[in-house]
Amino acid sequence: MEQSLHDKVVLITGGARRVGAAITRKLHAAGATVVVHYHRSAQEAQDLAAELNARRPGSVTPLGGNLLKVPLLAALIEATIARHGHLDILVNNASTFYPTRVGEITEAHWEDLMGTNLRAPLFLSQAAAPHLAARNGLILNIADIHGLRPLRHHPVYSPAKAGLIMLTQSLARELAPHVRVNAVAPGPVEFPDRGLTEEMKQAIIDKTLLKRRGSPEDIARAALFFAAEAPYVTGQILAVDGGRSANA
């Protein structure tokens, strides 16, 4: 699938680090021009852009912004169009993830977790829709298997990802036939920087059928599949979870 995304323009939110960076590298290697959105990861975004632009000059643009600010979302789309003339793929990858125990949940937790995981993908997709329709494009949401089965101590995050899964299926109906909308639901691939002990991480891994942790590259391969090899697939949620969702 080398250069299968030649002449395609991709906007990836949270594309500078972790899973987002793996998706950026994978789609770029397939020939895409990539706009890498970041919030607090400015240095990582600049470094990634420099690395990939050294391979193909002018092929990666870092673009900063706080996705909790709704007016910024349409501006991100317009900045991408202004820079490259069109948009073919929107990857809603940016996410916040941390526990919120009942009795300790605040309005700020709700605004943050719902804002990044659900509201931002909705308003970005809405702003991108006419541009994507003109190119028979794709919206790819990075969901979570815990949007399908709840994760203990995460009663805000899990519903936010559940909403993203339903948003995926709803937008697939709303934007057909000119825009495909799909989601990847990772399992234990990247753990958060805080909030989980090594014992907790191992317990999560033990619930997979493959008994091992996945990698960001696993998610990036799924993203490339939807971007380059699935023109007749829309409204689908692909679990990349080592069999966790099949293990009752």
What would the DSSP string read from start to end of 78-128?
A: HHHHHHHS---EEEE---------TTS--HHHHHHHHIIIIIHHHHHHHHH
Q: Which of 38, 98, 157, 232 is catalytic?
A: 157
Beta bridge partners of 184: 142, 238
H or E stretch including 184? strand 180-186
The set of residues, in sequence order, having a beta carbon less than 8 Å from that of 96 and lying 6+ positions away, is 112, 113, 116, 117, 157
157 is catalytic: yes
- Residues classed as catalytic: 157
